[in-house]
Structures are given as C-alpha cells and as structure tokens.
Amino acid sequence: MSKGKVIRAAGGFFAVCDETGNEYLCRARGNLKRGSEALMVGDNVIFHPLNQVSGGRTDEGIIEKRLARFNRLGRPPVANINQLVVVMAFKDPGCDWQLVSRMLVQAEKEDMAAFLCLNKADLVNDQEIEETKKSTASFPYPIIYSSAVTKLGIDEIAERLKDCTSVFAGPSGVGKSSLLNAIQPGLSLQTGDVSEKIKRGRHTTRLAELIPMNNGGKVVDTPGFSRLSFSDLDENELALLFPDFENLRGQCNFRNCRHAGEPGCAIEENVGKKVNSMRYEHYRLFLDEISKQEAY
C-alpha cells in the first residue's frame, strides 16, 4: 500500500501523486464515490499500485481509503485547503459582491484564510478603482487589484501563495487561469473569453486540478461557478462567520441579538462606520435565506 494525494478527478478516475512524485491513474472503492465519503481533489488517500512506474507511462492503482480531512469545500469541491483566493473582475464579467461574501462565509466556516483578487484592472480607470476602494472601506479581507495583462498585483499574489495550498474560485471569465499563467509562466493553462451575448465567461477550466508552484505552494484551479447556497448553515452561527462583527461582539443590548432590527444592536449602529454597508446587507440577506430554509 502507498500514500498519496488526489490531484485531479474526472469520469470516475482519480490521478493520485505518491510521496515520491509518481502519478497513478486510480479507480476508487465503491464507498469512496458516494455522499460525504466521495473523493475530492486535495484528499490524502491510501492506494494500492497495480504496477510500478516505468517507461514514463502513467500507472494504475486502486484507492482503498480516504484519510481524515481538516476541511472541505462543497463548491468548488476540494479538500485540505489552507487558503481561498476569491477571484472576481472589474469588468467582463463585473464583480458579483454577493457571491464574494458567500464564498468568504464558506471559508470562515472551514477555517481557511482568504483574500479577494479583483482582476482585469487594466479595463478600468483610476477613478473607478478609487470608487471601489471607497465602497469597500472596512472590508475585513485583503483586496489585491490585479491584471494578467499589465502584471499589476502578480508579485503580491505570488507571495501570498508561497508555501501553502490555495484554491482559486470564482465565476467563469474572471481570469483565474490567466493569473496563474502570469504568476508562473510555463503553466500554459487554457484561458477563454467572455460571451458577448450573455456577458459571462465561457468555461475553459473543465475540472479541478492541484498544481505545484515554483515557490513551494500548491494551487487548485477550478471551473467557474456563479451560484452558491447555504444548505449546511445554521442561522445562529452566521454572525460568527462575519469577521466584520468581531470587535463589536458582546456590545449589543440583548445577548442573543441576531443583528436584524433589534433595539440597541451595536452591529447596526456601526453600519457604514466600522461595518461595511454592503457586507451588512449581505448578512441580512443570508440570514433571511437560512431562516426560510430552516422553516421547511
């Protein structure tokens, strides 16, 4: 038996890299294909090689067991990640700030570090960038303005990827693969454009893949998505997943304050000051969504 990590998954097959760097194309036992046990990119596994690596060909194996995860994301489906990189674009397509907050809530729930990369800065002028900075005052996560064309922000992103396992996530067309190509020339990841008709990116990354970086980090490039629900969240834990509220916790008049219209709510009193207005709007939207789910 050997120990390895799932680096790609497609069509019922899993590419597993062992501890010496050899890659095996594996099938998995039936119990590893269903429900919460279903294998994901990033999973550490025990597998049985069917033959030795030789002649430069990819050998085969059977995955017998998935080792314990320290975290997981349902969308994109990855496991054992240190850092979430939320990638959005200024234009083509524009930034979906609500989706940003949804992904950041997911990162908090799974105890991941996170930052936002606002890409395609070459498509906007200085005034538009300044307006974005004003609207994101008190935003509780680092924001890097970037461009794969001008190389703006590329060194800063590369430094944050160093020596950790990160996942790039966001809608199609925002430039995730283009950024990775700029960070590490030679990757040659396929990139695409944006549909003129629907103003959305076309899918070019077809599957999640764990990519080793020259700076010691690993990055999962994932297919784009534009929707994310909260099927596994309790409304009582939502506020704890907003670091925006951290310095105000315990200051509301009521101990069980939901921060949703109660008198003397310290969170509401600081909206537009210590709490970003847009983020608070998202909190209220998510709270209502989760409450309705729990009612059924």
Whole-Å CA distances, 5 to 12, 17, 27, 209, 210: 16, 5, 13, 11, 9
Indicate if 64 and 89 belong to the same structural domain.
Answer: no
Residues forming beta bridges with residue 89, ordered by sequence position: 119
Distance of CA 253 to the CA centre of its chain: 35
Indicate if 80 and 215 belong to the same structural domain: yes
What pTM value is reported for the model? 0.88
State which residues form the domain around 168.
73-221
Residue 89, in any domain of the structure: yes
Domains of the chain: total: 3
Residues 77 and 152 grouped into a single domain: yes
pLDDT, one tens digit per residue, over 7-66 is 998 888 899 999 988 999 999 988 887 777 789 999 999 999 986 555 555 589 999 999
Judge if 80 and 214 occupy the same domain. yes
**59 and 83 part of one domain:** no
Interatomic CA distance for residues 287 and 290, integer angstroms:
5
Indicate whether 77 and 64 sit together in one domain: no
Same domain, 51 and 135: no
Task: Convert the pLDDT of each residue in 202-233 to its tens digit.
Answer: 445 567 889 999 989 999 988 877 778 887 88
Averaged confidence pLDDT in the chain: 88
125-135 residue pLDDT tens? 999 999 999 99
Q: Among candidates 206, 225, 221, which has minimal Cα distance to 10? A: 206
Nearest to 204 by CA among 188, 218, 217: 188
Q: What percent of the chain has pLDDT over 90?
A: 70
Tokens representing 260?
């949703």
- Give 75 or 81, the one with higher predicted confidence: 81
